[in-house]
Structure 1
Amino acid sequence: MQKVPLPSEGLYPLRALAGAFILYGAATLVHGSGFLAVFTAGILVGDVRAPYKREIERFHEAVSALAEIVAFTLLGLSVPLGTFAVQGAWADGLILAVLLVVVARPLAMTVLLWPLRLRAGERVFLTFAGLKGAVPILLGSFALSAHLPHSQRIYDVVFVVVTFSVLVQGALIPTVAHWCRVPMRAGELEPWSLGVRLRDRPEGVLRLVVESGSSADRCTIADLDLGEHVWVSLAIRAGSLLPVSGATRLQAGDEVLLLTDPEQAEDPTALFRR
């Protein structure tokens, strides 16, 4: 992704998708978990600075949304609701869902989050917010397509667990976040973007947010102690461009784009942090 160029911008997202297919197939051939292989690779690739990275992310966001829509549609079409009462899938699914939320996930997350420095409220929120969605549906479909004993019952139970997770856990996330004092806010859509294409990777570009109480808060650009090798090239306030000049006064929440000389040791980020 970093070193092999391609002739067209549209091929970069396809190469990433092809890499996911190859990883999934290779892990399956050696009797491993294709889902876990692609998931781990995605975490590693997510931190890589690669050409057309934003275009790759947009493409995979769209493909992911389409895959979730297809998975939930197929789930709704393939579950005979009339058999639930006869087979007892409702009761078993609800019991399993409650056990996952109350017992299994809290125990697992307590162990996994133990070395992290988090507040008690943050730990509780992460423990609660484990939504079940497309992956359980696909795993349940594997049992159904393999015609295993009681596969239809397994699939029905998965349907109940996923439905409970989406409707109950999903609906309660804002309330639980409020109780745990985890800040949440609704982000407005920003459909317009401003970008510049460069032949080489930019090394000295920083995008920062002015924090309340920082040196840059309520300070003009001319009065900021940026040094001789840092320039404020762009400022955004409330989703709109802000004219930049020496007299421009920044305020908390503004986003600024800085151009710096990578060979200089000056670090301007401290001016924008509280």
Structure 2
Amino acid sequence: MATGADRTRDGVAVEGFALYVAALGAVAVLAVLSNRLADRLRLPAPALFLFAAAIVSDLFPKLNELSLYAVRHLVEIALVLVLFSGGMSMGWRRLRPSLGPVALVGVLGTLLTAGALALVLRWVFGFDWLAALLVGTALSPTDPAAVFSVLGRRTVVGRSGTILGGESGANDPVGIALMASLLAAGTAGGWSAVASGVGEFALQLVVGSVVGLAGGWLILQLMRRVSLPDESLYPLQVLFAAASIYGVATLARGSGFLAVFLAGIVVGDARAPFKREIQRFHGALASLGEILAFGLLGLIVSLRSMVTERAWLTGLVLAVLLTFVIRPIVVGGLLSTIRLRWGERIFVVWSGLKGAVPILLGTFILTADLDQDLRLFDIVFAVVAFSIVVQGGLVPLVARWCRVPMRTTPLQPWAVGIRVQGEPVGLRHYTVASGAPADGRPLFELSRDEGVWVSLVSRDGEQVQLGRSTVLRAGDEVLVAGGEQPAAERVFTGRDA
């Protein structure tokens, strides 16, 4: 039988737990609402998460005592959510025409950027080679959470948007694999260090690619062939499968981040039961992952040490060199071999934002037992802060200057449709692409010449009243009945199925 003291202790424990849950929920609600504030201030939402958490950790030093390894693991989980959702949003059909530029910028561009940054840190700031290479590697990848958040509901029309999104997804695994290779090579010496680093890097990319492609195929089989008793279980099934892919790839010494990104791309274009519900669920999880990643990483930053160690000044100079010299030379040079307008090249060069992944890689520096490791981490944070605020804040303006069309997708809170048990045959959904055969053509021509019948058209979130002379425009969402899929794919998207 419980005594009064026991009940008091239990009551105190229950009250303490309830207070903790209430505070955590309130903070999470404020984090979600901050997206609206960021939109009004024309600032990227990650900037608010990052700086708010950094300020709070300085005001309440106990928050700064979080386990570095716990923060790293939680951020890695958040990035898995962001990368898998980003891969699903892109899909193979959209990526395929830009696969060459994405691989060129995402892999070779990341390596060259890391090398260029290391040279600047060594020759201009006087760091030793290992510290210079580690900081250069931490700052070499762009960040999918930052890029996707800055773009938000804006869709970049044309190849530049695909290249930008593909680069941010592809170069994170490259940067993380390169950091792991450098740390592994740091225990060796001479040529053995070089051989160890190159071998580890190649192993991470190869194993991650194989596991990701195979895992994506397995997820498709689960989605298509395994019947579950409740529709709410389908998104969970895909979530846990994606987590397993990350774990298997990592255990096999591959890049788990590359694996989940590729798995998401494989799943992205597939027709499967409850596909839209699965995408919405993972989109919400990616938003949660973005808040979690930037919030936790902000808590381990000390703004006070940045000022006392003058790391902010070094970081500011390095950020300016990276933004206006290094990335334009490296990425701009690589893109010069690709068929893009000059405006599109400039937009891609400018919009390569740093974010959670560089800070995550900076935590590896804190555990590498280097001299001035805290100052090195603070430099990484300063560069990321400049990138998110300055670069991210100016992305829409740069898009206008470069004449890169950015279409804002309005929220559509109402849906119209029916649910059927079998896969709908001959009924497909498309978004009319600019310059596609359907762009600017009336409906009667499409039915007469192409053999496709448009059943529903949504334009700027509003339903269009249909008639024989209704003319389709780029950006229209259409529901199509009839016609062979390859023909319909070409008519509405301008590319072969």
Q: How far apart in 1 are the matches of 2:392 and 2:305?
A: 26
Alignment of 1:6-25 (within 5 A): 6-7=227-228, 8-25=230-247
State percent identity of aligned pairs: 47
Q: How far apart in 2 are the matches of 1:28 and 1:216?
A: 45
Q: 1:261 offset after TM fit, Å?
A: 4.2
Q: Residue 209 of structure 1 aligns with which residue?
A: 432
Alignment of 1:80-119 (within 5 A): 80-110=302-332, 112-119=334-341
Q: 1:199 offset after TM fit, Å?
A: 3.0
- Which residue identity lines up with residue 432 of structure 2 in the other structure? V
**Aligned partner of residue 457 in structure 2, secondary structure:** strand
Whether the 8 Å CA contact 1:23–1:34 is kept in 2: the answer is: yes
Match of 1:249 among 470, 476, 482: 470
Q: Residue 374 of structure 2 aligns with which residue?
A: 152
Q: Residue 226 of structure 1 aligns with which residue?
A: 447
1:236 aligns with 2:454: no
- Which residue identity lines up with residue 249 of structure 1 in the other structure? T
Q: 1:193 offset after TM fit, Å?
A: 1.8
Q: Give the direction of change, closer, same or farther, for the CA distance of 1:166–1:211 in structure 2 (3 Å limit).
A: closer
Q: Residue 108 of structure 2 aligns with which residue?
A: none
**Aligned partner of residue 233 in structure 1, secondary structure:** strand
- Which is helix-richer, 1 or 2? 2
Q: How far apart in 1 are the matches of 2:436 and 2:275?
A: 33
Q: Which runs of 5+ in 1 are unaligned?
A: none
Q: Give the direction of change, closer, same or farther, for the CA distance of 1:108–1:18 in structure 2 (3 Å limit).
A: farther
Q: 1:270 offset after TM fit, Å?
A: 4.3
| Per-residue CA distance 1:184-217 (angstroms, 9 max, x = gap) | 2433221112233233333523435396997784
Q: How far apart in 1 are the matches of 2:266 and 2:438?
A: 35
Whether the 8 Å CA contact 2:438–2:472 is kept in 1: the answer is: no
Match of 1:169 among 391, 405, 410: 391
Q: 1:112 offset after TM fit, Å?
A: 4.5
Q: Residue 3 of structure 1 aligns with which residue?
A: 221
Report the TM-score when normalising by structure 2: 0.47
CA RMSD across the alignment: 3.3
Q: Give the direction of change, closer, same or farther, for the CA distance of 1:270–1:124 in structure 2 (3 Å limit).
A: same
Q: Give the direction of change, closer, same or farther, for the CA distance of 1:181–1:22 in structure 2 (3 Å limit).
A: same
Q: How far apart in 1 are the matches of 2:418 and 2:357?
A: 37
Q: Give the direction of change, closer, same or farther, for the CA distance of 1:124–1:215 in structure 2 (3 Å limit).
A: closer
Q: How far apart in 1 are the matches of 2:377 and 2:488?
A: 55
Q: How far apart in 1 are the matches of 2:316 and 2:302?
A: 17
Report the TM-score when normalising by structure 1: 0.81
Whether the 8 Å CA contact 1:216–1:224 is kept in 2: the answer is: no
Q: How far apart in 2 are the matches of 1:174 and 1:187?
A: 14
| Per-residue CA distance 1:208-228 (angstroms, 9 max, x = gap) | 539699778484x4x435149
Q: 1:61 offset after TM fit, Å?
A: 1.5
Q: Residue 363 of structure 2 aligns with which residue?
A: 141
Q: Give the direction of change, closer, same or farther, for the CA distance of 1:213–1:128 in structure 2 (3 Å limit).
A: closer
Whether the 8 Å CA contact 1:208–1:257 is kept in 2: the answer is: no
